[in-house]
Structure 1
């Protein structure tokens, strides 16, 4: 009946455009992977300096995620995504042109603001305009696009480096190849900005702002007039009786005076997604594989393989998430990551000094085992925690606190991301790769029991029915 009036074309357009933000999230995060030799040479950086320059984006991302949740409540989901697109463009131009580490760090912080904004705004926007029965599937497209952006950056970096003769070699117009790796990002960022003009604002945001007629118009285009009337009434009813504009204090339970339990669950999901070490693969993949004996060219190809496997895993998630649910996928992912990370840790424990006296090598079959286990780990992550965490953060919170809860959870996610990214270069030296990966293994194991005890299934539930 009413389902037949669903405007699948418009919903598809909305998801396609909104998830370009995910692509930019991935591209801006992944472009650093493969540029580190150029940055190190240009700015004369040591291990700590590399960690700070790589991690600078995460400082911006944590701020962007925290402010975007509130900003999306103030100026709208679409306008916040437009601002993110502008930040991506500015960051790409400035990072490529940077003449010093300080300017580069500023450029990456600006890009991080865009990444953080896109990371929290796109999922909540998608969840607010899609039908409950396919919401998980469509929200999971965000992770496909994040990984597509990462893979796109890996492919672009590989092609530029190969054509130029290396990331530090001169390329077009007399500029080093690594600078062009950043400048190429302007193309998808500009497409993102322009495409956002063709999609509507979130109807739930419009109702919260008292613009019921505008919300009714958007919902009519999406679901037909009868369903639009029902949904506006549902959204309005879901807001608290003493309705006010969303604010951070809404995260405190007025009865108990304590932080709402649902927020702790959101923070836990966000933090565990990073503590398993996934972004070590995405930020430092080339450096990591070179450290254990692979060439720069081979290391960049391994990055592309990991990206392709990640996309395949996310497509599997899209097929499963609305059938078996969110919680089972998280449990499967935690178990699989625990086993594969432990295998990687064992492989790295067998390393011996390299023949040239620099770096290390993995003897016998240990290199192959590490490579296979690492890619299986990437698959387990991207069939579970990669997409499902963002799906749940976009849908698990009640309407009144959704923006604020996303702000806090997103901030926690990026702080954990920064801690992992900045610490990794130093941890490679001490306590070493094996112990480092054992720590990630422990985080994956604990995440299994966290999900089992704390996470509630949200499959098939309307957003207005979420309790917190």
Structure 2
């Protein structure tokens, strides 16, 4: 295929060419999606497992409220570094190779947490695990976005979100089972943590036989290899049309030298787009979602559940997260991204307000316990059914091709640092001002988030990544 000839004129949009791929080709795309999203499963399990392990760990390691926050949030600090490092690595060395490296880091981090003899080692091991979580949060969605056809990108990228919440549900369920089987025996939290090594092994072996992202290959001027990968997941006609569009943009990006910090600072439209990405990342976190993911058991215990009952009841949070993500995937094929994000923001803010009100006004007992549980479930339905899938999808879409990994990585740093601060201060806030006032703070943050989305966030549905890049460049120039 003569790329120079194709790039001399505007290529036909790939979406104008029907993708009548064979069943074998469609099956190949499903397998690629499944294997890559084991990175999301590990993301979910490693962030969710602390929810049930922490009470037992607190007793064995002698944790204080501050060191509880450190154990929880050290993963998030590692994720911030892992996001930007993973983004740069995936832009420079390839999405597939980066995911292989991350699988090894997941394994080492999970094993380190399992064997940690004291708090200091646990904090370090959780930080290492965070490097993998942050890298996967960036690299897997970008890989899926670049492999997916435009009309299926929303559904396929958000499969990663489905695997994240499935990993959290697996963590909540295994925590409850291990706690009941192990009863009060010492060290049962180690069994909760070691399970994460299994999907890490599956991810590594699976990615050995997966292809590289065709758009990354094109960004390296490896157009022949990019076409061969596209033929694995598209009809031949669609693959050739898509390569013409991708290669045309790759040449333009090469001429503009888009790719890193210096380019971001010297290119006004890219700089503005980065700030939009930062805003989307912060919006997802200041709902307070991870206070429920990390401290859900404690929240339910405070509301009136016994410790074992809280572990079991917390499974409801995992179940609703998975079901809501299925609904979110269905909606993304039918509803625009921006209104969906706003609807999710309104729902989570209302649920948080009611959690605060119920905790403040209802007497301790079953009534308050089940009222709070109902609102946490409602909160997660809006969060996991709208806000989270749209966030990760949009962050994988909005950045230019040559700096997509880097751009998403920097935005994810903001996301994980916001997550880190919230995870670190939440136990102290609850201890200092009470759970009701803590959730009222999240309500105020939710109102500011809604205003930001309404004013600044662009719509991305229904465009190829190349068409979207041209539109955003025109909008922000």
1:449 paired residue number: 451
Query: Would the aligned equivalents of 1:347 and 1:367 in 2 still touch at CA under 8 Å?
Result: no
2:21 paired residue number: 5
Q: Which runs of 5+ in 1 are unaligned?
A: 171-175, 352-360
* Alignment counterpart, residue 288 of structure 2, candidates 277, 285, 292: 277
Query: Would the aligned equivalents of 1:160 and 1:181 in 2 still touch at CA under 8 Å?
Result: yes
Alignment of 1:21-420 (within 5 A): 21-166=39-184, 169-170=185-186, 176-239=187-250, 240=253, 242=255, 244=257, 246-254=259-267, 256=268, 260-350=271-361, 362=364, 365-420=367-422
Query: Would the aligned equivalents of 2:79 and 2:130 in 1 still touch at CA under 8 Å?
Result: yes
Partner SS for 1:242: helix
Query: Would the aligned equivalents of 1:337 and 1:380 in 2 still touch at CA under 8 Å?
Result: yes
Alignment partners' CA distance in 2, 1:153 and 1:5: 37
- 1:363 CA drift (Å): 5.3
Alignment partners' CA distance in 2, 1:241 and 1:373: 50
Alignment partners' CA distance in 2, 1:188 and 1:396: 30
- 1:231 CA drift (Å): 2.0
Alignment partners' CA distance in 2, 1:94 and 1:403: 28
- 1:259 CA drift (Å): 6.0
Alignment partners' CA distance in 1, 2:367 and 2:300: 15
TM-score, normalised via structure 2 length:
0.91
Alignment partners' CA distance in 2, 1:371 and 1:184: 27
Corresponding residue pairs, total? 450
TM-score, normalised via structure 1 length:
0.93
1:462 paired residue number: 464
- 1:244 CA drift (Å): 4.0
Q: Which stretch of the first structure deviates more once superposed, 308-317 or 208-217?
A: 208-217
Could you report, residue by residue, the CA deviation over 1:183-212 in whole angstroms, capped at 9, with x for unpaired residues?
Answer: 111111111111111210001111111211
Partner SS for 1:60: helix
Alignment partners' CA distance in 1, 2:160 and 2:309: 29
Query: Would the aligned equivalents of 1:235 and 1:464 in 2 still touch at CA under 8 Å?
Result: yes
- 1:37 CA drift (Å): 2.1
Partner SS for 1:4: coil
Q: 1:302 to 1:121 in 2, by over 3 A?
A: same
1:358 paired residue number: none
Query: Would the aligned equivalents of 2:258 and 2:264 in 1 still touch at CA under 8 Å?
Result: no
Could you report, residue by residue, the CA deviation over 1:295-330 in whole angstroms, capped at 9, with x for unpaired residues?
Answer: 121111122111111111110111111211211110
Q: 1:23 to 1:246 in 2, by over 3 A?
A: same
Alignment partners' CA distance in 2, 1:109 and 1:145: 22
Alignment partners' CA distance in 1, 2:350 and 2:318: 21
- 1:245 CA drift (Å): 7.0
Alignment partners' CA distance in 1, 2:57 and 2:190: 9
Query: Would the aligned equivalents of 2:114 and 2:194 in 1 still touch at CA under 8 Å?
Result: yes
- 1:278 CA drift (Å): 0.3
Alignment partners' CA distance in 2, 1:362 and 1:440: 23
Alignment partners' CA distance in 2, 1:302 and 1:66: 36
